[in-house]
Chains A and B, each alone.
Chain A
């Protein structure tokens, strides 16, 4: 039977397409893209060829025995050293070279500890804008043994709300008696023997005035800042507003 002319032409086009597809499939594409085994093997080879950047926690333990001993007993025991300090293979080879990075600002810890509803119940989470703003996390928390810091609890039996508020503020580590003089009688007859309260701007100035020795406290010029107002007319001392 004679093949019609149009079928011959169509057959030629279809043939070119089929040959093109099959040629691409069987000759042009590398075999490693098609075979699972070869694909995995080439991936391994590619990864192995990359330079090693991480030393591994066991290497760190060789020199930093004391710190890693603390870490392995604390809540961060499952974390690798280089998870926070960055790749340290160079440092491991030559301790004088490539000193590992140490996160000291407030951006790092909230990567794991900022509030997120999908984190498991009981996982320590904070709101970074409200939780003790300004200060770096390591002021109160030791990342190598991150137990919740001991905040001042002496007055919390009667003043729990103030205690809880202050505990997450930048004044968390100040004792109540830093600002208040509490007579011994106050614990027996609280209403008749009231504690003192600061009376003037100069009191806050002992930490916050220019030239004050307290290093972390924000400084203002008392002669120009706030005019005739007292500090606590704008700033609540139990929760000084953050600027973080």
Chain B
């Protein structure tokens, strides 16, 4: 440990209350480990929303189907980065794939991640976009044409029979995908829930609570992105779609809130030896992030807003405003949930007699700046994806902007409807 780090830790001694063991002063899982479950949660939630369309035939949310898939992919690509940043030797991480250890839960995450990325998300996205990629490859010129051809793996068949096969494949993949998405985020909860030495984490409810909060945050994120995208593109918002998504969000919050309340009540009733220090933790170190941000602003206020939006009849603009405010509050709340689990679980001593403090670094690789970059990066990836891949199915006739000078109206190219 370098001298500067030791000096920083000495400063923390003043903020320690009660008795702690000497090696507990350093909080080892930093803000990056907060970002990681937050990102995987968004992935799982966005995918579950997408599966509503294909498996449960909820036609109302069809307009956000592709956006949900791309959102899930963009966030999934960034999800392992916080873990890699956190590792002392990130270049060794690939070894878990080559010399797998089935008894290590953390190593198995590599396989859950690879399965979900390669066998579920990429496949589903490929089948969903294949027809459009073929159409775009035909209509584009130059480098872009090659990008589309490579992305479509040079396939050209868009006959009705081929498209029927695509749709069947998507449905089959989504059915496999739902338990896979549950596995992906349930695993994150499992990692924390199975740390039996830590009373704040050790709970069988942990994977389920993580999963429900993941669904809440994922749906809220897609609603947010859908509203922002339509505003940027100056398109009208499909209010039926928005209302349906919000109602799913509403039910998901209620289930999530009930589970968290159940967990809390059970801990309180069990009153194990840790209950006293956990009570002190909640009322002192986690007062702002748990009681104010997570429960009040991130859960009760948006729940109240959504109840008001459902009980009273508002016009579309007012509803949009209420929905938008609640999805942003929900994101703050879910991020606080991750914070309270990861950081909160490291703030009390194993002696159950003292509390530590977490001092976040700013510019280091495990600091605030790195976390912000990792939170912004998926949006940049998503922006690029949306540029390349259409979020709405293409008509059979594709508009292609012709080269300069800029024409009054884009050139319309007729496209064949079947493969050659």
Contact = CB atoms under 8 A, between A and B. Distances in A.
Contact of B126 (A10, A25, A33): A10
B99 A34 contact: yes
B189 to A, nearest CB: 29
Interface in A1-56: 4-7, 9-10, 12-13, 17, 21, 24-25, 29, 33-34
Residue among A5, A6, A7, A118 with max Cβ neighbours from chain B (10 Å): A6
B157 A5 contact: yes
A7 B153 contact: no
Contact of A9 (B97, B154, B166, B419): B154
Interface in B90-127: 97-99, 118, 123, 126-127
Contacts, number: 40
Given A24-B98, A34-B99, A117-B22, A10 B153 contact: yes
Given A24-B98, A25-B98, A34-B99, A4 B23 contact: no
A13 B118 CA distance: 11
A interface, by DSSP: helix, strand, loop or mixed?
Answer: helix
A10 B166 CA distance: 12
Interface in B119-160: 123, 126-127, 130, 153-157
A31 to B, nearest CB: 11
B26 to A, nearest CB: 13
B162 A5 contact: yes
B165 interface: yes
Given A24-B98, A29-B98, A34-B99, A6 B153 contact: yes
A4 B97 CA distance: 32
A33 B99 contact: yes
Interface string A110-126: 00000011100000000
A9 B153 contact: yes
B126 A5 contact: no
A33 B94 CA distance: 13
Given A117-B22, A118-B22, A6 B98 contact: no
Contacts of B130: 6
Contacts of A29: 98-99
B99 A4 contact: no
B305 to A, nearest CB: 45
A116 B23 CA distance: 11
Contact of B157 (A4, A17, A21): A4
Interface of B: 22-23, 97-99, 118, 123, 126-127, 130, 153-157, 161-162, 165-166, 419
Interface of A: 4-7, 9-10, 12-13, 17, 21, 24-25, 29, 33-34, 116-118
